Each structure stands twice: as C-alpha cells, then as structure tokens.
Copies of this chain bind each other. A is one copy, B any other.
C-alpha cells in the first residue's frame, strides 16, 4: 500500500560484509541488498509504524510476517517469571521474525517509535527459493545476528555488574557505529529496567553499576539516555574484564 519505489527504496539489510577485505577489522557496515533486490522485496513489503512501547508481536502468536527496521529501535524479549528477559535490541537494517516459524519464539515491542517494512512470510519464502543472491545476503545477516547473540551470552557469563554494564555499552556503541565516529556519545534508547533485563541484573544493580563507573570517572552522563566514555583504557579493561589476557 504505502510502498512507493522512488530510486533505490525498499527493505535494507545492513551488516559487515565479511567477504570484502578490511571490513571485518574496521567493522564497516554496509547495505547488502542491490537495487533490484530491494525493489523485489519492496513489492511485497508494507510500511508499518509502531509507537514507543507498542507491541509488534507476541511470543507464541502465529508468525506470518518478517520485519525489517527502517528507523527506531525494537526489543525482542521473552517472559521470565513475572519479569522478562531481553534477547536482543533491533536496530535499523536488522531483520527479525525470520528466526522463528509457525509461531514467533520471542515477543517484540518498540523501544522508540519504529518504522519498519512488514513482509508476508509466503512472499519472502518464494523469493528465498528463487534468488540465490538474496539468500546469501540473508545468510550474512544471520551470521551477524548469531555472533551478536554469542556476544550477549559472553556478556552474561561475566559475574560482575560493572563488567556487564561496560560490555553492554560497548555493544550499543558498536551497533551505532553505522554513521557516528568515535569520541561521540553512546545513545541508550531503552530504559533502565530494559537494560537490566538484557544484562541479567535488577534495575537497582544497574543503577549502582552506572554510579560506580561514573564515580570512577570512566564514563559521564547527564541524561539517562546518553553516556560518554571518558577513560577509554579503564573502560576497556573493565569491559574485557577477565578478558585481560595476553595476545
């Protein structure tokens, strides 16, 4: 419906293309899809908007569509008792809803206002079966998401609140190195309790860890959603925590 195709519009998958030498080291993210691929996907895509906090889909509900974020940040999460566990943060260029079939394995909601392409599963499946080039792009993206999930588990394997928080900030910074340069602030789109649910702590512990990093003059923050790393060396030695091994 709301699908105009001016220029190279259409779904976009951003990832570090691993076959281009130099990219992996520098963490350069680029658009994987070619213009014709984007146009192809655009034909079956609908632009959808979600308000901050709005549910995108529920865990266990029928999975009939795949999403591709245009702008905003979404949260993939699962119920964990009366609280919840955050699985991943989804940024522009990310693909989701693909990882589960039949029923969605996690729930997803918008952390900020979100604009996304919504693509019916049947159509996506048809394209995947015919276009090897699109497939490869999806494979690359999935590898990236897999690495991201592994990093998340790595983060959770640390048992100091400060380490976890520092690693979290590091991850967020990396996710935003799309267009920003170093020395800039890290933007934290989600609230404290969501951060807590991601790094496996209580909001209280997250708060204390923040204050601890601030009092050590390692980071600074005036706004709840913006953090700046002051002492990069100290920060790294905490983020790498027990990771302070030799080469």
Selected from B103, B129, B143, the residue in CB contact (under 8 A) with A132 is: B129
Interchain CA distance A138-B139 in the complex, whole Å = 7
Does A142 lie at the interface of the complex (its beta carbon under 8 Å from any beta carbon of B)?
yes
Query: Are B146 and A136 touching (Cβ within 8 A)?
Result: no
User: Inside 8 A of A154's CB, which chain B residues have their CB?
Assistant: 78, 80, 85, 87
Per-residue CB contact flags for chain A residues 78-117 toward chain B (1 = under 8 Å, else 0) read 1111110101100000000011111101100000000000
Nearest CB in chain B: distance from A149 CB, A: 4
Interchain CA distance A158-B138 in the complex, whole Å = 31
Does A156 lie at the interface of the complex (its beta carbon under 8 Å from any beta carbon of B)?
yes
Does A128 lie at the interface of the complex (its beta carbon under 8 Å from any beta carbon of B)?
yes
Interchain CA distance A157-B98 in the complex, whole Å = 23
A28-36, A216-224, A238-246: which lies at the interface? A238-246
Most B C-beta atoms less than 10 A away, residue of A125, A132, A133, A245: A132
User: Inside 8 A of A100's CB, which chain B residues have their CB?
Assistant: 18, 143, 147
Does A131 lie at the interface of the complex (its beta carbon under 8 Å from any beta carbon of B)?
yes
Count of identical protomers in the assembly = 2
User: Inside 8 A of A143's CB, which chain B residues have their CB?
Assistant: 98-101, 142
Query: Are B150 and A79 touching (Cβ within 8 A)?
Result: no
User: Inside 8 A of A79's CB, which chain B residues have their CB?
Assistant: 243, 245
Query: Are B200 and A159 touching (Cβ within 8 A)?
Result: yes
Query: Are B136 and A19 touching (Cβ within 8 A)?
Result: no
A128-B139, A129-B136 known; 13 new pairs, CB 8 Å cut-off, are: A24-B103, A78-B154, A79-B243, A83-B242, A128-B135, A128-B136, A130-B132, A132-B135, A135-B139, A139-B142, A149-B149, A156-B157, A159-B200
Interface CB pairs A-B, < 8 A, 26: A19-B125, A24-B101, A24-B102, A24-B103, A25-B102, A79-B245, A80-B157, A80-B243, A81-B245, A82-B242, A82-B245, A83-B242, A87-B153, A98-B143, A99-B147, A128-B132, A128-B135, A129-B133, A130-B132, A131-B132, A132-B132, A135-B138, A138-B139, A149-B149, A153-B153, A153-B156
Chain A: residues with CB nearer than 8 A to chain B? 18-19, 21, 24-25, 78-83, 85, 87-88, 98-103, 105-106, 125, 128-133, 135-136, 138-139, 142-143, 145-147, 149-150, 152-154, 156-159, 197, 200, 241-245
